[in-house]
């Protein structure tokens, strides 16, 4: 297993800010600064190998660096620390750093008014440009937005600089509702007046807020929970009846799924947190994801696939994708080849058929290492994949039909959200399985068309989880 450096503190480097105008002192300071930059560059290469670190080693010696999500956690921490201390004077960064990490600057330059193909919105522009001349750190600051003079973007850029900030909305009710998957409310039982409706759902943000209120804040009664929800931004933006309905839905959802237990007491309703609630809270996962993890563990306890030495099924149980999404083109190639290994060229096999293991192939014990060099960095889609990969995909609920539909850009009914999550976890599990076999992170990244930083995120999350 490759250890993650996500929680490591960067080495301490002295500050390199020069306050004197004396020539000889400045010369000594410049020599000292060169030594400090050299030490930082050496530390960077020793901490993480890869093309990025080699290139950074050279440009850091000139006081320049770049920062993006694809860098490893240690590299990012070293660069941020070097910039704060004045060792790095110019930092080229993506909008991720500009909108997230707190790095004040004297000057901010926008190379383009577009981010991800979209014109900057006023919130993002203000967030990034506001890093220049931060109050309490600098007396003044400059912000430049580069636009072609004869383009239509010029007027849009001028309007952007003058545009006021738009109102903010609570994120507690953002996105689609999360359906309750407890079988008890899908049959003939009538619980809490919900009847037979399989469409009962609750807002994901409200679910999380209620769970945190009960576990972390010690809320034990309905009145306390109501007071807590009344202090949220959502309470200021929706009518009280809507807030009460959403809170009650979340409470019922969490009770039905086993997170909370409610009872009626003489002085009011009582709310108690269960083992599921504390497990989800301590693992920092959403209630919806916790339900799916428990389902996967129960399914694995009945049919754990251990035919591959890379322990792919176990890796799936440990992997959490976060913001990493499955590359469906690569995933389709992997599953198609694994299914071919598993099913051969059986006539009449329909595309999208559930990936099952024929009896004559069960227990063959094929492993990942016998199908190509995992450490070579070859594209994952060009390798041969063993039948065990297909059987594990079936075991976790992933089917080739869904993957093919995503490659073709088609919709896939009401189960699409759940299948997207499964596909992304399976994709991360494939990478994690190679890390377990001590493949180089940069090779894994090249194979699966992700960044080295993504590999470190997967390892760090697995370590925490």
Domains delineated in the chain: 23-162 (3.40.50.300), 177-282 (1.10.10.10), 303-464 (no CATH)
SS3 for 60-76 is HCCCEEEECCCCCHHHH
Distances (CA, A) of 240 to 203, 227, 247: 16, 12, 10
Per-residue pLDDT of the chain (465 residues; tens, 9 = 90+): 222 233 344 455 555 555 555 666 667 778 888 889 989 988 888 876 666 667 888 899 999 999 887 777 788 888 989 998 889 999 998 877 666 667 888 899 999 999 878 899 898 898 888 888 887 777 888 999 999 887 889 999 999 998 988 888 898 987 667 776 654 433 333 333 333 334 567 888 999 999 999 998 888 898 999 999 999 999 999 999 999 999 999 999 999 888 998 887 766 678 999 899 999 998 888 898 888 888 888 888 888 887 655 588 889 988 877 778 899 999 999 999 888 754 444 434 443 344 444 444 344 344 444 344 444 567 887 888 888 898 899 888 898 889 999 998 887 776 787 888 889 999 999 999 998 888 888 889 889 998 887 888 888 777 766
Residues of 177-208 as b/e, b for ≥16 C-beta within 10 angstroms? Answer: bbbbbeeebeeeeeeeebeeeeebebbbbbbb
Q: H or E segment at 262? A: strand 260-265
Q: In this structure, what token pair is assigned to residue 389? A: 């990969």
Quote the tokens at residue 285: 């996962």
Measured distance CA(250)–CA(459) in Å, rounded: 32
pLDDT score for 183 = 46
CA distance 260 to 276: 8
Phi, psi of 90 (to 5 degrees): -125, 125
The dihedrals phi and psi of 121, each to the nearest 5 degrees, come to: -90, 165
**C-alpha separations of 402 from 72, 410, 411 in Å:** 32, 9, 9
Question: Nearest-5° angle of CA 286, CA 290, CA 292?
Answer: 120
Looking at residue 144, its pLDDT comes to 93
Q: Is 87 exposed, middle or buried (0-12, 13-18, 19+ CB in 10 A)?
A: buried
User: Looking at residue 26, what is its pLDDT?
Assistant: 66
Query: Is the distance from CB of 234 to CB of 241 less than 8 angstroms?
Result: no
Rounded CA gap, 45 and 100, in Å? 25
β-strand pairing of 177-179 with 142-145:
unpaired
Angstrom CA distances, 42 to 17, 37, 49, 61, 377, stand at: 21, 9, 11, 10, 25
CA 22 vs. chain centroid, Å, equals: 50
Query: In sequence order, what are the residues at sequence separation of 6 or more whose Cβ sits closer than 8 angstroms to the Cβ of residue 124?
Result: 95, 99, 115
Whole-number pLDDT of residue 52 = 66
* Distance from C-alpha of 101 to C-alpha of 84, rounded to nearest angstrom: 11
Closest CA to 338 of 294, 375, 272, 392: 392
């Amino acid at each position: 297993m490759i250890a993650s450096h996500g929680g490591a503190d960067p080495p301490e480097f002295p500050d390199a800010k020069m306050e004197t105008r004396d020539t000889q002192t400045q010369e000594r300071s410049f020599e000292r600064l060169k030594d400090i930059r050299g030490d930082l560059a050496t530390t960077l290469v020793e901490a993480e190998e890869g093309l990025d670190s080699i290139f950074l080693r050279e440009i850091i010696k000139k006081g320049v660096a770049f920062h993006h999500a694809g860098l490893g956690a240690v590299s990012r921490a070293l660069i941020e620390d070097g910039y704060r201390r004045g060792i790095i004077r110019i930092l080229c960064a993506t909008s991720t750093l500009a909108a997230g990490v707190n790095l004040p600057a004297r000057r901010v330059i926008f190379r383009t008014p577009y981010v991800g193909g979209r014109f900057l919105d006023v919130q993002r522009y203000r967030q990034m440009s506001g890093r220049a001349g931060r109050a309490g750190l600098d007396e003044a600051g400059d912000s430049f937005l580069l636009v072609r003079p004869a383009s239509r973007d010029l007027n849009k850029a001028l309007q952007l600089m003058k545009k006021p900030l738009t109102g903010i909305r609570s994120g507690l009710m953002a996105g689609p509702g999360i359906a309750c998957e407890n079988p008890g409310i899908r049959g003939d039982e009538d619980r809490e007046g919900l009847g037979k409706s399989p469409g009962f759902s609750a807002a994901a943000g409200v679910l999380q807020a209620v769970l945190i209120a009960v576990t972390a804040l010690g809320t034990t009664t309905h009145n306390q929970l109501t007071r807590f929800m009344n202090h949220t931004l959502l309470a200021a933006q929706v009518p009280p009846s809507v807030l009460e309905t959403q809170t009650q839905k979340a409470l019922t959802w969490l009770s039905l799924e086993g997170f909370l237990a409610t009872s009626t007491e003489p002085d009011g309703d009582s709310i108690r947190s269960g083992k599921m609630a504390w497990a989800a809270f301590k693992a920092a996962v959403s209630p919806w994801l916790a339900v799916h993890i428990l389902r996967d563990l129960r399914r694995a306890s009945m049919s754990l696939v251990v035919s591959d030495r890379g322990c792919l099924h176990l890796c799936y149980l440990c992997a959490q994708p976060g913001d990493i999404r499955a590359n469906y083109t690569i995933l389709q190639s992997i599953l198609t080849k694994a299914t071919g290994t598993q099913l051969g060229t059986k006539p009449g096999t329909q595309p999208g058929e559930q990936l099952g293991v024929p009896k004559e192939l069960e227990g063959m014990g094929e492993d990942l290492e016998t199908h190509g060099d995992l450490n070579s960095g070859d594209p994952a889609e060009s390798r041969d994949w063993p039948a065990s990969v297909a059987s594990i995909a079936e075991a976790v609920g992933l089917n080739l039909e869904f993957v093919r539909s995503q490659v073709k850009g088609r919709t896939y009914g009401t189960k699409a959200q759940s299948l997207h999550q499964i596909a992304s976890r399976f994709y991360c599990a494939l990478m994690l399985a190679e890390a377990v076999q001590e493949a180089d992170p940069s090779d894994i990244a090249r194979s699966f068309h992700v960044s080295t930083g993504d590999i470190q995120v997967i390892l760090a999350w697995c370590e925490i989880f």
